[in-house]
Amino acid sequence: MKVELRNLTKIFPSRNKKVGGEVIAVNDFTFTIPDGTLVGLLGPSGCGKSTTLYMISGLQKPSSGQIFFGEEDVTELSPENRGVGLVFQNYALYPHMTVKQNIMFPLQNLKGADKLTKDQMLERALEAAKLVQIDDLMDRKPSELSGGQQQRVAIARALVKMPRVLLLDEPLSNLDARLRLQTREEIRRIQKETGITTVFVTHDQEEAMSISDMIVVMKTGIVQQVGKPQDIYDDPTNLFVAKFLGTPPINVFKGNVAGGKLYIGGAAVLDVPGVSDRDVTVGIRPEGFNLDENGALVCELSNVEVMGRDISIVSKNEASLNPVIRSIINSDSKIDATAKTVKYSLKPHKVFIFDAKTEERIHF
Ligand code: ADP
Ligand code: MG
């Protein structure tokens, strides 16, 4: 099911009574989620991810704008009639019910032509449970399950009505690191197997990058960039997006352009033909550095960590806007770990420059 958001906006009265006024939680969000894809809504806390999801689900009404499922305008439709499955961070299971009863619960209120017999409900519940691999836990209570198992029950409960759209709000946040990894792969598998159009909300860029077909990066209610994870990483539209994606994070420097050359702290580090003279902010991905005896970017060497495939080098430079610079170099390279300085040349496609004031990308 294709999901289309048209100029979706949500304005709340501010929660802060002293300041008063309004908060624009989501600001003019227009985007089409292609049928059968998994879209990651990514951004820091408070940027409007949950509000967007709740508007798609019908739990919250937009202040303006429209939502379409396929060709159907669902903006005024109640949550029950939209055919969405919702999964939250806190699994929100009924503690006094067994796993089976929890999964069957959404089927018990079906009316009219949709009404199911007890056997049909059991069959559907078992199918959903098999999909998330908890069919051997059907008679347990939630308190007898691990966090990961509880979240699977919540996903099964969301799937049992065969929703047109599956909505997940930070579903992995309450799980420990290992389970987070495993469960995110599970979610991807289930999404592929069922082909249900899915929106996955997270503040964790790695999570979003690893499972999404498409990512929407948000900041203060405003969409910053939409695209495939790798495309956004390789071609960020502004400094915020460049900084939000990638581990280790991008290295940021004060710089300037003069005479078609990019300068960092007085050293000409790269040709940037066609860019007019101005102050810029420079972003260099950790993998954008070459160890180079003749390299123009000279940094004070702090630490060298050999990590099998890669060498991680920590260094410092006065023009760096981060406390340290982290570069990742192929371990075939040789580095003298006792040296005082390290010299780098740069890979042009791993270097991004941004206007120092607007922080918008300047292409070269
Ligand atoms: P996220 O899920 O990205 O953390 P939210 O969508 O929950 O962000 O919130 C976006 C903004 O809207 C925040 O500034 C938040 O404080 C505000 N907000 C969310 N819900 C309400 C509400 N019911 N009343 C007032 N402000 C709200
Ligand atoms: Mg949220």
State the average pLDDT over residues 166-192.
91
Q: Name the closest-CA residue to atom 21, ligand 1.
A: 12
Q: Which of 195, 192, 103, 193 is nearest to 152 (CA)?
A: 103
Between 206-220, 236-250, 281-295, 300-314, the lowest mean confidence (pLDDT) is in 300-314
pLDDT band at 309 (very low <50, low <70, confident <90, very high): confident
- CA of 41, nearest ligand number: 1
Question: Over the stretch 195-228, which tens digit does the pLDDT of each residue have?
Answer: 999 999 999 999 999 999 999 999 999 999 999 9
Question: Over the stretch 108-155, which tens digit does the pLDDT of each residue have?
Answer: 888 888 889 999 999 999 999 998 889 999 999 999 999 889 999 999
State the average pLDDT over residues 246-256.
97
Q: Name the closest-CA residue to atom 24, ligand 1.
A: 12
pLDDT at 331: 84
Q: Which of 236, 344, 245 is nearest to 281 (CA)?
A: 236
Reduced to 3 states, what is the DSSP secondary structure of residue 273? coil
Q: Give the H/E segment covering residue 271.
A: strand 267-271
pLDDT at 10: 98
- CA of 46, nearest ligand number: 1
State the average pLDDT over residues 248-268.
97
pLDDT band at 53 (very low <50, low <70, confident <90, very high): very high
Q: Is the pLDDT of residue 70 over 90?
A: yes
188 CA to middle of ligand 1, Å?
27
Residue 349: DSSP 8-state: G
pLDDT band at 65 (very low <50, low <70, confident <90, very high): very high
> Who's near 294: CB < 8 A, 6+ residues apart?
343, 345
For the chain, the average pLDDT equals 94
What backbone torsions phi and psi does residue 301 show, to the nearest 5 degrees? -80, 125
217 CA to middle of ligand 1, Å?
16
pLDDT at 14: 87
49 CA to middle of ligand 2, Å?
6
Please, what sign has the CA dihedral across residues 335, 339, 345, 349? positive
Question: Over the stretch 316-327, which tens digit does the pLDDT of each residue have?
Answer: 999 999 999 999
pLDDT at 110: 81
Q: Name the closest-CA residue to atom 17, ligand 1.
A: 25
% helix, strand, coil for the chain, step of 5: 25, 35, 35
Q: Is the pLDDT of residue 161 over 90?
A: no
pLDDT at 220: 97
45 CA to middle of ligand 2, Å?
7
**CA 327/CA 303 separation, integer angstroms:** 11
Which domains are delineated in the chain? 3-243 (3.40.50.300), 249-362 (no CATH)
Q: Is the pLDDT of residue 290 over 90?
A: yes
Question: Over the stretch 72-121, which tens digit does the pLDDT of each residue have?
Answer: 999 999 998 999 999 998 888 999 999 999 999 999 888 888 889 999 99
Pocket residues: Cβ below 6 A from ligand 1: 12, 15, 23, 25, 43, 45-51
pLDDT at 286: 98
